[in-house]
Amino acid sequence: MSNNNTSVSPSAAPAAPEAPAAQPRKKWLLRLTGLVVVLGAAYGIYDWMVNSHFEETDNAYVQGNLVQIAPQTAGTVQSILADDTDYVKEGQALVRLDPADAKVAFEQAKANLAQAVRQVRTLYVNNGSYTAQIAQRQAEVAKAKNDLVRAQSDLKRRQALTGNGAVSKEELSHAQSQVDAAQAAVNASQAAVNTAREQLASNQSLTEGISVNDHPNVQAAAAKVREAYLAMQRNELVSPVSGVVGKRSVQVGQRVAPGTPLMTVVPMNQLWVEANFKENQLRNLRLGQPVKMTADLYGKKVEYSGTVEGLGVGTGAAFSLLPAQNATGNWIKVVQRVPVRIALDPKQVQEHPLRVGLSMLVDVDIQNQDGKLLADVPRKEPLVQTNVYDVQDEGADAVIAQVIASNAGKKL
């Protein structure tokens, strides 16, 4: 029985050779662990050497100039010449208003100008009339003085004959009355001369040194004509820039007031990226640093190049309609973000167009720290400019000149 208990079963015999086979497996695991550690260390070094020179954010969006088209005068929409997604050129008509009211006001302004010209002409004509009146009054003064001299001579003769009784008291009294009447006539005619001279001086003060065309009354009426002409021209709303129409809200027959938004034109060559970086990322950002960007629209296949153009002067919360109330007892610190403006390469945008509001992934190369934190030089040229409104009053001067010429008569 004891022999059976001490015997070794055949199945237990192979256990001894397994010890040498476990050694390579442990070595392989150690080598794998070492490789992972080395790779991790290499990645950490790479990340520190490469990625530490970049600031990245995906809180970035394409921005652009949203040019609102709004009327400058009140009116009723007569026709709409552009719709959403349409491309329009600078100066192209977009909306036309009913011109009836503007035409009536324009004709009334021209009539007022014509009346002003004729009234001013009367002032110049009156100068000659008052001059003639002065000459007439002066002749009357001379006649009255002659009459006074005769009356005074007659009175002296009668006074000399009074002593011998040749002239009665009644005749002497009558002669004295003639002298008094002649003196009154001289005074009256002289006053008439003075009045005529004052009228001439007053009238000359309104006309001296200027022509009918340059008279203030005519110029004021001409300004009203120019204003009415502009109002008539502004019944046609034109696009101040070239771009794509978006957000059209105007309808035919709609009564619009000045400043009412009718549609928006987005110039596709005036786009930029606004990246909202955390406040702890701003310390290394500088103006002029190069930027690499990708858009969700195209993915990583298209990479845009740009430069940091400006750093915001405040966080988004500081400029919001409802600023944060940080003085309350329930305050919780939230990491703030500051907008950073990034200029795009126009050629790349033309080749791969972007849309306002698209999401972007932004990487800023912060190795170069020579740039400034904030702009300190004023802009030398206008950021955006249009000349489409400069030509709206070009025809007004010709209309004014024609009205003045038709009512001025002979040159005075």
User: What residue spans define the domains of the chain?
Assistant: 68-98+231-264, 101-225, 266-322+333-365
pLDDT of residue 11: 47
d(CA 194, CA 247) in angstroms, rounded, equals: 74
CA dist list (Å): 328 to 148, 325, 332, 333, 362: 103, 6, 10, 12, 35
Q: Look up residue 410 and give its DSSP letter.
A: S
d(CA 187, CA 175) in angstroms, rounded, equals: 19
pLDDT in tens, the chain (412 residues): 444 444 444 444 454 455 555 667 777 777 778 788 888 777 776 666 655 688 999 999 999 999 999 999 999 999 999 999 999 999 999 999 999 999 999 999 999 999 999 888 877 766 666 677 777 777 777 777 777 777 777 777 767 666 666 666 777 677 778 778 878 877 877 787 777 776 666 666 566 767 778 888 899 999 999 999 999 999 999 999 999 999 999 999 999 999 999 999 999 999 999 999 999 999 999 999 999 999 999 999 999 999 999 999 988 878 887 777 776 667 778 888 999 999 999 999 999 999 999 999 999 999 998 999 888 888 888 888 999 998 888 899 999 999 999 887 765 4
Beta strands in 230-384 (DSSP E): 236-238, 243-246, 255-256, 263-266, 271-278, 290-295, 299-311, 337-344, 359-365
d(CA 346, CA 198) in angstroms, rounded, equals: 73
Beta bridge partners of 343: 272, 307
Question: Would you list the DSSP string of 135-198?
Answer: HHHHHHHHHHHHHHHHHHHHHHHHHHHTTTTSS-HHHHHHHHHHHHHHHHHHHHHHHHHHHHHH
Question: Would you list the DSSP string of 319-362?
Answer: TSSS---TTSTT------EEEEEEEEPHHHHHHS---TT-EEEE
Q: Output the six-digit token pair for 120.
A: 């001013």
Strand order in the sheet with 255-256: 236-238, 93-97, 75-80, 255-256
Level-2 CATH architecture, domain 266-322+333-365: Beta Barrel (2.40)
* Angle of the 396-408 helix axis to the 216-233 helix axis, nearest 10: 140
The dihedrals phi and psi of 304, each to the nearest 5 degrees, come to: -100, 145
| Segment 184-190 long-range contacts (CB within 8 Å, at least 24 positions apart) | 185/144, 185/147, 185/148, 186/141, 186/144, 186/145, 186/147, 186/148, 188/144, 189/137, 189/140, 189/141, 189/143, 189/144, 190/141
Q: What 3-state DSSP class applies to 288?
A: coil
Cβ–Cβ < 8 Å for 383, 241: no
Q: Look up residue 313 and give its DSSP letter.
A: S
d(CA 102, CA 229) in angstroms, rounded, equals: 8
d(CA 202, CA 131) in angstroms, rounded, equals: 12
Q: Which fold has domain 68-98+231-264?
A: OB fold (Dihydrolipoamide Acetyltransferase, E2P) (2.40.50)
